[in-house]
Amino acid sequence: MIDLGGRVALVTGGARGIGEAYVRALHAAGGRVVVADILDDDGAALAAELGDPARFVHLDVTDADQWDAAIRAAVDAFGAIDVLVNNAGIANAAPIEHFTLDKWNAVIAVNLTGVFLGCRAVVPQMKARGRGSIINISSVEGMRGSPGLHGYTASKFGVRGLSQSLAVELGPSGIRVNSVHPGFIRTSMTSRIDPAHLDIPLGRAGDPSDVAGTIVFLASDASAFTTGAEFVVDGGMIAG
């Protein structure tokens, strides 16, 4: 069992889905957790259920000012942010000739620009303390192409590249940056997809809790020598 010993983690998109599982796992491992989301009721209810030490902050990850306010609120509450989990994401799909610019801009804004803004906002206080762990949620769609998922795939490849450039730049400052690449996980994002046609060697779709162990590991000193790495958590789906 990993003991996070009060380490402070901010999880974007933490109110539901896989992000909620990250919040619960980090809290259960002894972390102090900030749930950051646009879903105010769900996020506040989750933080209230967990009690101390958990907080909710409203955050639209596409808004730089809201990022500054969320970081300030987390630091006011807990003194620092040790771990940032950039998990908030959306998905959309259409054949390329019907893929509107609005669709493209929406998915890039949340999935890629949101991660950039979060890293930029959190780094100054991590640098000042000489340590930190940034965990960026990409996808197996950040490692291969899939029909129709043009904006989503581009955003998730982008998260992978951004994580690597940051790992190289921030390593000397004691800040680790890794990307995590879940496969098919049952959430509202995937509720309309039937996993039966997916060839998953472990023989089942994933649950949000299946990814959470990797997040707790990357939040902890058990991963102290790990940066710039890509963690595929997909039941073996893209190995074949």
Q: Which positions touch ligand NAD (CB under 6 A)?
A: 12-13, 15-19, 37-39, 59-62, 87-90, 110, 137, 139, 182, 184-185, 187-190
Cis preceding linkage at 182, omega within 30: no
Query: Which residue's CB is nearer to ligand NAD, number 127 or number 217?
Result: 217
The nearest distance, CB 172 to ligand NAD, in angstroms, is 28
* Options 56, 67, 78, 152, the catalytic residue: 152
Nearest alpha-carbon partner for 60 in 48, 43, 75, 79: 43
Query: Which residue's CB is nearer to ligand NAD, number 63 or number 221?
Result: 63
Nearest alpha-carbon partner for 38 in 109, 127, 104: 109
Whether 152 is catalytic: yes
Query: Which residue's CB is nearer to ligand NAD, number 111 or number 220?
Result: 111
The nearest distance, CB 4 to ligand NAD, in angstroms, is 21
Spell 76-89 as b/e; 16+ CB within 10 A means b.
eebeebbbbbbbbb
Query: Which residue's CB is nearer to ligand NAD, number 30 or number 106?
Result: 106
The nearest distance, CB 82 to ligand NAD, in angstroms, is 20
DSSP for 20-57, please give it. HHHHHHHHHTT-EEEEEES-HHHHHHHHHHH-TTEEEE
The nearest distance, CB 91 to ligand NAD, in angstroms, is 6
- Distance CA(213)–CA(111), nearest Å, equals 22
The nearest distance, CB 161 to ligand NAD, in angstroms, is 16
Spell 140-152 as b/e; 16+ CB within 10 A means b.
bbbbeeeeebbbb
| 181 to 68, 80, 92: CA distances (angstroms) | 27, 27, 18
Query: Which residue's CB is nearer to ligand NAD, number 131 or number 189?
Result: 189
Active site amino acids:
152
